[in-house]
Amino acid sequence: MTLLSAVAIAKSFAGVQALKGVSLELRAGEVHALVGENGAGKSTLIKIVTGAVQPDSGTLTVEGRVVQHQSPAHAKSLGIAAVYQQPALFPDLTVAENIGLALEGAGVWRRVDWDARNRLARELLERAGADIDASRTVATLSMPEQQIVEIAKAIGAKAKILILDEPTASLTEHEVERLFRVIRALRDGGNGIIYISHRLEEIATIADRVTVLRDGQSIATRDLREVEPAELIRLMVGRDVAAVFPKREVPIGDVVLEVRSLQSRAIRDVSFSVRRGEILGLAGLVGAGRTELAETLFGLTPVEGGEIRLHGSAVRIQSPPDAIELKIGYLPEDRRQHGVVLEMAIAANMSMASLGAVSRNGLIDGGAERRLARRLVDQLRVKTPSLYAETGSLSGGNQQKVSLARWLAIAPDVMILDEPTQGVDIGSKSEIHQMMVELAARGMAIVMISSELPEILGMSDRIAVMRAGRIAGELSRAEATQERVLALALGHA
Amino acid sequence: MKISLAAAILAVAVVLAIAAPTFFSFANQRDLVLANMPVLIVALGMVLVILTGQIDISVGSQFAICSVAAGVFAHMGLPTPLAGAAACLAGAAMGAINGALVAYVGIPSIVVTLATMVALRDGLRWVTQGAWVQDLPPDFQWFGQSQTASEIITIVCAAALMVGVSWGLRNLAAGRVVYATGSDPNAARLMGIDPKRVVFAVFVITGALTGFAAVFNAVRFHQIPSNAGMGLELKVIAAAVVGGVAISGGRGTVGGTMLGLLLLGVIGPALTFLGFSAYWERAIEGGIILAAVSLDALRVRSRSHAGIVSAQRA
């Protein structure tokens, strides 16, 4: 019996087509895995099923009935529950209170029956296979324990359709085993479970069928007994015609940055090096530790072990000013949050990291600043009415160029670019790529983090793939293919 | 914002010119200006604090302590300039306490300065037992000059400070850093700025400026009350907010604050001159503050709406 079916779902956000026609069928009594690269559209699909986002077109059918307008409340009444990687619980309330709030009737003036509430919480936790005291405050629970509470809530809500988004990302092997027992029990009870995970071996263990998403489309649905991991990977990367990248071979010089057995909060034993004129692509899934590695190199996260060497000698980087002093630049991932100061003028943003160059004794030389900004605006082809326009008034692509311009102003030896073209229009994207090539040609060593495989393959001289905080492998430009990179990222090399 | 403020000030002035021309008498104007000098000087510090996204409601209490300190040092026989410098140092020290707790311990500034506001004020009351500082040495009052000379010194110093802070915010690298810290501390950090140091520094500067203001105020009287500066923080914050300094940080100017101060400074005396009860003064001030922040909020919302929509990409 089909519990849920989504047919030809499409959705775009601000002109970007996130889903281009996705179909998914979930049967009663099955665990249905959903796999795909970063940005393939898994999260958007889930948001549409749970009513958090409205689709532009397509039909959603639950137990044979077409859902006209999905909303979170309606999804709940249809028996759809989702457990996300980051549990959505009230941290200052107890487990029993959290479960009670979710399950008991509404009404501001009703009296709380504490005995019944505690009893219900205990019973549900037991059915979820957990040994958690219902009177504990949620803030004192570990991440896996919080997930179990979410699952208990879903069981309590008599959810027929349970969506688990990367539930095992932070679990130990033993906890995974326990979770799987709960999932199997739910499945055998006739529920349908949508299971999102990057761990293919796990999917092979727990799931019955798998649907592969790529670039906002559902590519295939396969029975797990009939599909090899290699085929799944092939389905995930597809055979897209490679976009044209302005990559140019430039002479590669001496090693500029070398990292030996680096350890920090989320990275373990990372070693790699980058040379003058080289673009090192850093691939991996979201959460593999790439951004954390960049933040460690830029002094935002303390080094816990290993060493960073620049031009052959060991350096200590304890803060961003240290990194800037050593001529390391960092273009952060979230431009809106960290890349530029939106309220400030374009010229002020561009001169920010190089205030020393445009000021004397702390006094800003307006003329020097204007000349610097003019040069960078021309060089990067920033489309702006004026050098003194508010940066927030520019388009995303142009904001990104302003952010990049700031680092060009100090001409770093090493430039770390974290998702430099994410959320940027096609035109700006190609201009930013062009810029990267020119910078490499001038002898800069570039580390480019990207979740977009074609970008990684198209722009990098060498590719390091991260997985679970470690470098899972390195590939030269010649030997890299989408399949090989993804296999390393997924741990199937 | 500045244009509507200037228009409001002009409107008040025109009404006064018609209804109560004596308001513009030299003596009245001079009194008004001198009475507002301490507020102006403290407001310069407050602008910096608010620009970094913080607030300091303890300036009134700091002002009282600095006033008494200046008097006590003078009484002990310290020459007036030294007594004044000591008072500024006392202010800077109190600012350093606030700044350290906010920047390095990470307590919200409203909580820190609420605590220091109460603690400093009542600590002073306990030490002085409410007594005023009397019998000041003759060369303390008016800095030992003629009254006119002293008043000129005060106004020149305040004007110099105002021009200095305003110019510095626009032209010094340090000024940029203040705006960047308030707009987006994370972005500032990624540019190599240390936002904590900036926050600490603006609190210290505000403390020192408060000490400065206290000295200029103290020399105008024969004795120094131990409850000086009551409600000063409200006047100062109101001037900044009315003058268009965003309470969330990152946006605002000294010029705007001065206009805000001017409007709030003339409203009270104007009411008196027009024959209204003085009790209306605070109510109208409150109304002006609400109007100013509402206008600002509406302006920000209409401007950033497009940005929020386009940022919604999953």
As a 3-state breakdown, chain B gives helix, strand, coil percent values, each rounded to 5, of: 75, 0, 20
- A104 inside domain: yes
Question: What is the rounded CA–CA span in Å between residue B142 and residue B219?
Answer: 5
- A7 inside domain: yes
Which of A237, A264, A289 is a domain's end point? Answer: A237
Res. A448: pLDDT tops 90? yes
Res. B306: pLDDT tops 80? no
Question: What is the rounded CA–CA span in Å between residue B3 and residue A487?
Answer: 63
Question: What is the rounded CA–CA span in Å between residue A452 and residue A273?
Answer: 22
pLDDT digits (tens, 9 = 90+) for A221-271: 999 988 888 888 888 877 554 567 888 888 899 999 999 999 998 899 999
- Do residues A10 and A132 both lie within one domain? yes
Residue A242 is predicted with a pLDDT of 52
- A463 inside domain: yes
Interface test with B, best of A45, A53, A355 (most B CBs within 10 A): A355
Res. A70: pLDDT tops 90? no
Are A364 and B179 inside 8 Å of each other by CB? Answer: no
Enumerate the β-bridge partners of residue A447. Answer: A280, A416
pLDDT digits (tens, 9 = 90+) for A374-423: 999 988 888 888 888 888 888 778 888 888 888 888 889 999 999 998 87
| Long-range CB contact pairs, A421-426, < 8 A, 24+ | A421/A450, A421/A452, A421/A455, A422/A333, A422/A451, A423/A16, A423/A335, A423/A396, A423/B313, A424/A396, A424/A397, A424/A400, A425/A395, A425/A396, A425/A397
What does pLDDT average to over chain B? 88
- Do residues A411 and A469 both lie within one domain? yes
Handedness of CA A210, A214, A218, A220 (dihedral sign): negative
Which of A206, A237, A268 is a domain's end point? Answer: A237
Interchain CB contacts (distance < 8 Å): A and B = 86
Question: What is the rounded CA–CA span in Å between residue B12 and residue B271?
Answer: 10
Determine how many CB atoms are found less than 10 A away from the CB of residue B160: 10
Residue B271 is predicted with a pLDDT of 83
Residue A222 is predicted with a pLDDT of 93
- A249 inside domain: no
Question: What is the rounded CA–CA span in Å between residue B242 and residue B257?
Answer: 7
Of chain A residues 295-314, which have a CB less than 8 A from chain B?
298, 300
Q: Give A323's contacts in chain B (Cβ within 8 Å).
A: 192
Enumerate residues 6+ apart whose C-beta is below 8 A from A251: A277
Looking up tokens 């799931």 gives A207
Q: Give A341's contacts in chain B (Cβ within 8 Å).
A: 179-180, 183-184, 187-188, 250
Report, as an integer, the average pLDDT of A257-286: 93
Helix (H, G, I), strand (E, B) or coil at A272: strand
- Do residues A385 and A412 both lie within one domain? yes
Locate the chain B residue with the closest alpha carbon to A40. B314
- Which residue from B187, B309, B311 is facing A341, i.e. has the nearest CB? B187
- Do residues A204 and A288 both lie within one domain? no
> pLDDT-derived band of residue A336, with 50, 70 and 90 as boundaries?
low
pLDDT digits (tens, 9 = 90+) for A119-152: 999 999 988 877 889 999 999 988 778 888 998 9
Q: What is the CATH number of the domain that holds A27?
A: 3.40.50.300
- Do residues A11 and A43 both lie within one domain? yes
Res. B106: pLDDT tops 60? yes
Question: CA Rg, chain B, in Å?
Answer: 20
DSSP secondary structure string for all residues of B46-66: HHHHHHTT---TTHHHHHHHH
Angle A391-A393-A399 from CA coordinates, rounded to 5°: 50
- A244 inside domain: no
Q: Give A13's contacts in chain B (Cβ within 8 Å).
A: 312-314
Who has greater pLDDT, A280 or B295?
A280
Interior/surface letters A202-220, b for 16+ CB within 10 angstroms, e for the rest: bbbebbbbbbbbbbbbbbe
- Do residues A217 and A273 both lie within one domain? no
Determine how many CB atoms are found less than 10 A away from the CB of residue A385: 9
- Do residues A213 and A268 both lie within one domain? no
Enumerate residues 6+ apart whose C-beta is below 8 A from B271: B277, B278, B280, B281, B284
Question: What is the rounded CA–CA span in Å between residue B250 and residue B184?
Answer: 8
Domains of chain B listed by start with CATH number: 2-303 (1.10.3470)
Give this complex's ipTM.
Answer: 0.73
- A474 inside domain: yes
Nearest residue to B256 (alpha-carbon basis) of B54, B57, B11, B9: B9
Residue A239 is predicted with a pLDDT of 56
Angle B307-B309-B313 from CA coordinates, rounded to 5°: 105
- Do residues A269 and A232 both lie within one domain? no
pLDDT digits (tens, 9 = 90+) for B178-191: 999 998 888 888 88
Q: Measured between CA atoms, how close is A172 to chain B, in angstroms? A: 29
- Do residues A228 and A264 both lie within one domain? no
Q: Measured between CA atoms, how close is A476 to chain B, in angstroms? A: 31
Phi-psi region of A341 (alpha: psi -120 to 50; beta: other; left: phi over 0): beta
Number of domains in chain A: 2
Which of A237, A272, A289 is a domain's end point? Answer: A237
CA distances from A229 to A202, A222, A320, B213 (A): 11, 12, 42, 75
Question: What residues make up the domain containing A273?
Answer: 255-490
- Which residue from A324, A344, A423 is facing B192, i.e. has the nearest CB? A324
Looking up tokens 């770390």 gives A416
CA B119 to chain centre: 20
Least confident of A78-87, A432-441, A442-451: A78-87
Phi-psi region of B174 (alpha: psi -120 to 50; beta: other; left: phi over 0): alpha
- Do residues A204 and A286 both lie within one domain? no
Q: Measured between CA atoms, how close is A423 to chain B, in angstroms? A: 8
Residue A356 is predicted with a pLDDT of 73
Enumerate the β-bridge partners of residue A4. Answer: A26, A62
Q: Measured between CA atoms, how close is A421 to chain B, in angstroms? A: 14
CB A139 within 8 A of CB A92: yes
Enumerate the β-bridge partners of residue A471. Answer: A466
- A242 inside domain: no
Who has greater pLDDT, A286 or B310?
A286
- Which residue from B184, B304, B310 is facing A341, i.e. has the nearest CB? B184
Question: What is the rounded CA–CA span in Å between residue B311 and residue B304?
Answer: 11
Q: Give B198's contacts in chain A (Cβ within 8 Å).
A: none
The DSSP letter of residue A140 is: G
Question: CA Rg, chain A, in Å?
Answer: 25
> pLDDT-derived band of residue A315, with 50, 70 and 90 as boundaries?
very high
Residue B310 is predicted with a pLDDT of 33
Interface test with B, best of A298, A338, A418 (most B CBs within 10 A): A338
Question: What is the rounded CA–CA span in Å between residue B99 and residue B92?
Answer: 10
Q: Give B314's contacts in chain A (Cβ within 8 Å).
A: 13, 18, 43-44, 47, 53
Are B250 and A348 inside 8 Å of each other by CB? Answer: no
Residue B177 is predicted with a pLDDT of 92
Nearest residue to B194 (alpha-carbon basis) of B176, B181, B175: B181
Res. A104: pLDDT tops 70? yes
> pLDDT-derived band of residue B132, with 50, 70 and 90 as boundaries?
confident
Q: Give A336's contacts in chain B (Cβ within 8 Å).
A: 311
Question: What is the rounded CA–CA span in Å between residue B261 and residue B290?
Answer: 15
Report, as an integer, the average pLDDT of A280-287: 89
Enumerate the β-bridge partners of residue A129. Answer: none
Are B192 and A321 inside 8 Å of each other by CB? Answer: yes
Q: Give A321's contacts in chain B (Cβ within 8 Å).
A: 192, 194
What does pLDDT average to over chain A? 88
CA A198 to chain centre: 12
Residue B313 is predicted with a pLDDT of 31
Report, as an integer, the average pLDDT of A442-469: 92
pLDDT digits (tens, 9 = 90+) for B12-38: 888 888 888 888 888 888 888 888 999
Are B310 and A332 inside 8 Å of each other by CB? Answer: no
Q: How many residues does chain B have?
A: 314
% of residues, chain A, pLDDT over 70? 97
Residue A15 is predicted with a pLDDT of 66
- A243 inside domain: no
Q: Measured between CA atoms, how close is B41 to chain A, in angstroms? A: 23
Question: What is the rounded CA–CA span in Å between residue A405 and residue B208?
Answer: 38
Interface test with B, best of A50, A325, A352 (most B CBs within 10 A): A352
- Do residues A189 and A282 both lie within one domain? no
Q: Measured between CA atoms, how close is B204 to chain A, in angstroms? A: 19
- Do residues A54 and A135 both lie within one domain? yes
Structure tokens at B296: 């600002």
- Beta strand extents in B102-171 (DSSP E only): none
> pLDDT-derived band of residue B1, with 50, 70 and 90 as boundaries?
low
Interface test with A, best of B167, B179, B190, B309 (most A CBs within 10 A): B190
- Which residue from B184, B190, B310 is facing A14, i.e. has the nearest CB? B310
pLDDT digits (tens, 9 = 90+) for B249-261: 988 999 999 999 9
Element (H, E) at A121: helix A114-127
- Which residue from A340, A356, A364 is facing B187, i.e. has the nearest CB? A340
Strand bridging mode A462-467 / A279-284: parallel
Nearest residue to A250 (alpha-carbon basis) of A277, A272, A283, A287: A277
Question: What is the rounded CA–CA span in Å between residue B105 and residue B102?
Answer: 6
Report, as an integer, the average pLDDT of B129-139: 84
